[in-house]
Amino acid sequence: MRSITKFDLQYAHRFYKFQGEAQYLHGHTGVLTIEVEDTIEPGVNMVFPCNEIQKVAWNVLKNFDHALVLREDDPLLPAILSVYEKQGIKDGAPSNKMKGEAFHTELAVAYPDARLVVTKETMTVEGMIKIVYDLLKDKLNIARITFTSGVNAATQEYTPTKSVDRCPLCGVALRDGVCPKCGYKKH
Ligand SMILES: [Zn+2]
Ligand SMILES: [Zn+2]
């Protein structure tokens, strides 16, 4: 069975060198759906509590919310950084609180202080799915990711290969046989 969680992400981007309107900087509310597959944990009668999926995923996804996403070779990147620098907000600002955990993968690098994500490939809906899977595949048993942004949408199925040991009292993943939330110990 699957537990399904949705996220709204508000971001700006552009498709650098794309022959169409999308080569101009513009914004979206993107909707990301993550489906997590596993057995049903009988104690809680759930695959995984959706608020836990939210917590785990949002930690990294926050980086894409109210953020600018640019490809690494986009000349807008140094231009924007220079404006942020002059304005004194490149390395953070007191009002910039909702920051995600910085990450650096093959496909993307997040700079939470500047609310900027630099990608290797153009951030299309397909590109976003690749980035998100790469960031979360070791943390969640992902069976499908769907991303919708404006008229564009894409979806990708994955085959989860493992089952996660979960707490029979609150459903969260056990860490070394112990529930990090309620302290339950697996015997
Ligand atoms: Zn767009
Ligand atoms: Zn527990």
Q: What token pair was written down for 91? A: 């390395």
Tell me the per-residue pLDDT of 88-108, one tens digit each, with 9 for 90 and over: 999 999 999 899 999 999 999
Task: Compute the distance from residue 174 Cα to the ligand 2 centre, in Å.
Answer: 8
Task: Compute the distance from residue 169 Cα to the ligand 2 centre, in Å.
Answer: 5
Q: What token pair was written down for 54? A: 């939210």
Q: What token pair was written down for 124? A: 């299309």
pTM above 0.85, yes or no: yes
Q: What domain range is 124 assigned to?
A: 2-157
Give the chain's mean pLDDT. Answer: 95
| Assigned domain for 80 exists | yes
Q: Which ligand is nearest to the CA of 178?
A: 2
Tell me the per-residue pLDDT of 147-179, one tens digit each, with 9 for 90 and over: 999 999 999 999 988 889 999 999 999 999 999
Number of domains forming the structure of the chain? 1
| Assigned domain for 165 exists | no
- How far apart (Å, rounded) are the C-alpha atoms in residues 34 and 88? 36
CATH code, domain with 149: 3.30.479.10
Residue 71 phi, psi (nearest 5):
-75, 150
